[in-house]
Amino acid sequence: MRHHHTPKPNPRGVTLLEMTVVIMVLLALIGMGLYSSNKYNDWKKARAASESLRDVYSAQRMYLADNPTVAVSSLTTALLVPYLPNNLDAMPTVTSLTGSALTFQVTVSPPVLLSGTTVYDPSGSPNDSLWDVGE
């Protein structure tokens, strides 16, 4: 007579160490995702700033084309507003990475963004088209 041995189910479950490893991997992935989204938001702010600068630069060139005897150093934002694309009725607003408002310096060509009295370009390059008009 044969005896059939039924296999016993393995009582082994998920160990505490395995659960800890999975949780640590998930936390690392979430951290990388948050870091990436912050960098993406910074890039979006920089792109918006450069687009606004291009609009102001375009208005500056159109005004100077209509008024060729006017020096760039004598330009004001009030003179350029009627020349802004898309019939804007005021200068565009730009915020820094920390959320502070930036202003346009239109007395130089191409125009630049100012934080107080200093030129604002956290990218560190004047021709990368982020925070500046670029080349």
Domain of residue 38 covers 16-119
Q: Could you please report the per-residue DSSP string of 55-83?
A: HHHHHHHHHHHH-TTS-GGG--HHHHGGG
In a domain, 129, yes or no: no
Residues 119-134 pLDDT 10s: 888 888 888 878 888 6
Flag whether 44 is in a domain: yes
Whether residue 59 is contained in a domain is answered as yes
Q: Categorize the per-residue pLDDT at 99 as very low, low, confident or very high, splitting at 50, 70 and 90.
A: confident
Q: What is the pLDDT of residues 44-64, one digit of tens each?
A: 888 888 899 999 999 999 999
Q: Is residue 6 part of a domain?
A: no
**What's the rounded Cα separation, in Å, for the pair 94 and 37?**
20
pLDDT at 54: 92
Residue 98 lies in a domain: yes
- Residue 70 near residue 80 (C-beta atoms within 8 A): no
Structural domains counted in the chain? 1
Query: Does some domain include residue 104?
Result: yes
Distance CA 85, CA 56 (A): 8
Provide φ and ψ at 25, rounded to 5°. -65, -45
Is residue 56 included in any domain, yes or no? yes
pTM of the model: 0.72
9 within domain boundaries? no
> For position 10, what pLDDT does the model report?
62
pLDDT(13) > 70: no
Residue 12 pLDDT greater than 70, yes or no: no
**How far does Cα 15 stand from its chain's mean position?**
44
